[in-house]
Amino acid sequence: MRAYGFRWPVVLAATAAMLIILFGAQFMYARQAFSQPLNAALKHTPGVLGQPVVTSDALGLVVDVKLGLVPDLESTYRQLIRAAEGSAGGRHVTLKVVDHPDPQLTQDFMNLSAILDQGRATGQFVVMERQFAAATRNMGLTRAHVTMGDQQMYVELVSGTNYLYAIMPLTLSSSAGAGGAA
pLDDT digits (tens, 9 = 90+) for 59-106: 888 889 999 999 999 999 999 998 888 887 777 888 999 999 999 999
Of 36-40, 104-108, 127-131, 154-158, which range is least confident?
Answer: 36-40
Domain span holding position 12? 6-98
Residue 182 in any domain: the answer is no
Task: Say if residue 14 is in the same domain as residue 83.
Answer: yes
Task: Say if residue 81 is in the same domain as residue 15.
Answer: yes
Task: Say if residue 80 is in the same domain as residue 18.
Answer: yes
Q: Distance (Å, rounded) from C-alpha 72 to C-alpha 30?
A: 32
CB atoms within 10 A of CB 171: 15
pLDDT digits (tens, 9 = 90+) for 146-162: 999 999 999 999 999 99
The residues, ordered by sequence, that sit 6+ positions from 148 with a Cβ below 8 Å of its Cβ are: 125, 154, 170
Residue 85 in any domain: the answer is yes
Number of domains in the chain: 2
CATH code assigned at 53: 3.30.300.30
Q: Is the pTM of this model over 0.85?
A: no
